Each structure stands twice: as C-alpha cells, then as structure tokens.
Amino acid sequence: MQGFMTRETLLKWAPVLVLIFLLLVFPIFEMTNAWAKGKEHIYLLDSRFLSIRNLARIAISATPALMVALGVTFIILMGSIDLSMEGTVSVTAVGFAYAFLWLGGTLASWAWLAIPLALLIGAAIGLINGIVHVKLRIPSFMASLAMGFVGTGFALLLTGGDRVRVEDPLFRALLTVRWMNFPIMVYVAAAFLLLMWFIQTRTKLGRNFYAVGGGEELAAASGLNVNRVRILGFMLAGICYGMGGLMAVGKIGIAETVTGANFMFISITAVVVGGTALWGGIGGVLNTLVGVLIVFVINNGMVVIGLPSYIQSAVLGILVIVAVVLSTDRRSVSFVK
C-alpha cells in the first residue's frame, strides 16, 4: 500500500481524481440549491449537469480547445512554450473560410481542399515559428508570441474586421448532425486525438520529444538532432492549431480575426492542469484530454449552479498554481525561470 501511494502515483492520477470529483460535486451543489428552493423531488439522476444534452454541450465547447491544447502539449513536452496559437488559429480559420468560399462554398465541390489547406497554413506558421526560435536562438516564448501577433494582424488584414460566414450544410453537419446524441465534430476530435496519441507513443518523433524535454544536452550528446526535433514539434503544433481553427469555424459557422481569442489561456491551463510538466519530458496528450475536460467542466458547472464568470477564472488560476506546485520538486530546482 505504501508503495502504491507514492508521490509519482498521486501526481499521475491526481487530474483524473479531480475530474471525477468535479463530476460529482456540481450535481450535488445543484441538488442542494434545488432542495433549498423547496424542490425536494430533485435527485442526482435528475441533475441538469449530468444530462446528455449538457454533457454534449461540454464536449462541443471543449473540442476546438482540445485540438489547440494537443499542439501545446508537444511543445511543452520539449521543455519549450508556444504562445502563437491565437494568431495561428485566426489565420487558419480565415484562410480556410476564404478558400472554402472561393472553391465553391460546399464540400460537394472542390471546397473540401480548403481543409488540408488550413492544416498546411498551420504547419507553415509552425515551421516559421520553429526556425525563428532555433536558427535565430530566440527564446521560444518570445518567438512564438511575436508570430502570434503577426498571425492576428494578418487575419485582420485579410478580413478587414469583417466576419466570413461558412454556411454549407455539409460542413455545418459537424455540429448539426449527431450520433448517439453527440455531434460529428466530437468524433472527429476523438479520431484526431488518437492520431496524436499514436505519434506521441508509437513514432520516433514522439519519443524524441520526451528525449529533448528530459535533457537537451544529453539528447544532443546521444546523436539526436535537437534543432530538427524542435522545428518538427512546432510544425506539428501548427497543424493542431489549424485543426482547432477548423473546429472553431465548424462550431459557429464564422471565421474572423478574434476566432483564436482566449485559446492561449485555456490551452496552456489545460495542459498544466492535466499533468504535463512545464519543464518537459513528463505528460502527454491523454493528460491534456483530462485537463481540457477539467477546464470545461468547471466553466459549465459553475454556470449551471449560477456562479459568476470571475469566480470561474479564479478557480482555474488556483488550479494552475496547485498543479505546478505539486508537480515541481523544488529541492532539485535552484531557481525559477
């Protein structure tokens, strides 16, 4: 029993336990509020929070953020940080929307080519991001932040501040058509998650991310081309951001300059809360899935029980601090970067 309750074991399962706790505590709060109002017939299974409709709502809200957070995961696994996601999501969303309309405006025509084009745009931005970081020896957070500003500015240049609507019923079926009460976009996101999990666990590139994050000098000494791995990591992240842009457009049917707004805070929060270590080498995409669910369960649950938005942000901020404190062995850290 003592061997099971190690610090490493607790850290590994803590995000899952937090998610389970949240899935239980919000229905209990909802029940308590109902009883306080004299609705004594309300029980746990009657909870609006646990209804299929509400769970589907959580899944829909979380889908674009999950795509973006998957990309952030690979960057953090390497011990770097990427702040370009908001600009990249906006550019890929706007680029996709314009290409989609120009190519016919429906998936039944050549407009389907806009989908791989959006992913290529994301990969290209990630490639530039990685090259600037590696070749010019600029810290990753600074290089990526600059690229994020460039992306947002370019999206504004393309749109002129206007909205670009994608109203094709075939594309909008991502949201409107449901299988087992969940929209198609949730299943697409699940398939993409499995692909990223395969890359992380079953490919040489995925193993190299851990090697770089675990010790860049050691990885280089063993013959690994660290710069190449970092550039490929940023390219892969860009593809994930492009997928996030597609899902964002699929969710609301609109592409605009602010399509990528708030993804920076949500994605990094989800990755950290999910258990991926900021210094690299620990965690993965399944941790990120749990982290994204924690963030959106908190947001949704607090709305259900009637708490204001500023409390939601405060709770998420506290969770980030707790996650970093618990996952950092401060005895082995001489200073904080």
User: What residue ranges do the domains of the chain occupy?
Assistant: 42-327
Question: From CA 189, how far away is CA 191, in angstroms rounded?
Answer: 5
How far apart are the C-alpha atoms of 184 and 187, rounded to whole Å? 5
Q: CA 105, CA 121: separation in Å to the nearest integer?
A: 19
pTM of the model: 0.92
Three-point CA angle 167, 173, 178, nearest 5°: 150
Residue 3 has pLDDT above 60, yes or no: no
Determine the average pLDDT of the residues in 83-110: 96
CB 326 within 8 A of CB 11: yes
* Residue 328 pLDDT > 90: no
For residues 72 and 240, what is the distance between their CA atoms, to the nearest angstrom? 9
Q: Using alpha carbons only, how large is the chain's radius of gyration in Å?
A: 21
pLDDT at position 42 is 57
> Residue 240: what pLDDT?
98
In DSSP notation, 200-236 reads HHHSHHHHHHHHHHH-HHHHHHTT--HHHHHHHHHHH
CB 278 within 8 A of CB 326: no
Q: Specify whether domain 42-327 bears CATH 3.30.70.
A: no
The end-to-end CA distance of the chain, in Å, is: 36
Residue 335 has pLDDT above 50, yes or no: no
- Transcribe 96-112 into DSSP letters: HHHHHHHTTSSTTTGGG
* Coil, helix or strand at residue 183: strand
Does the structure show a pLDDT above 70 at 282?
A: yes
Residue 136 three-state SS: coil
CA distance 317 to 148: 23
Distance (Å) of CA 117 to CA 92, 124, 195, 254, 323 = 8, 10, 19, 17, 37
Each residue's pLDDT tens digit, 198-208: 999 999 999 99
Tokens of 238: 């860009």
pLDDT tens per residue across span 147-171: 999 999 999 999 998 999 999 999 9
Q: What is the mean pLDDT of residues 89-107?
A: 97
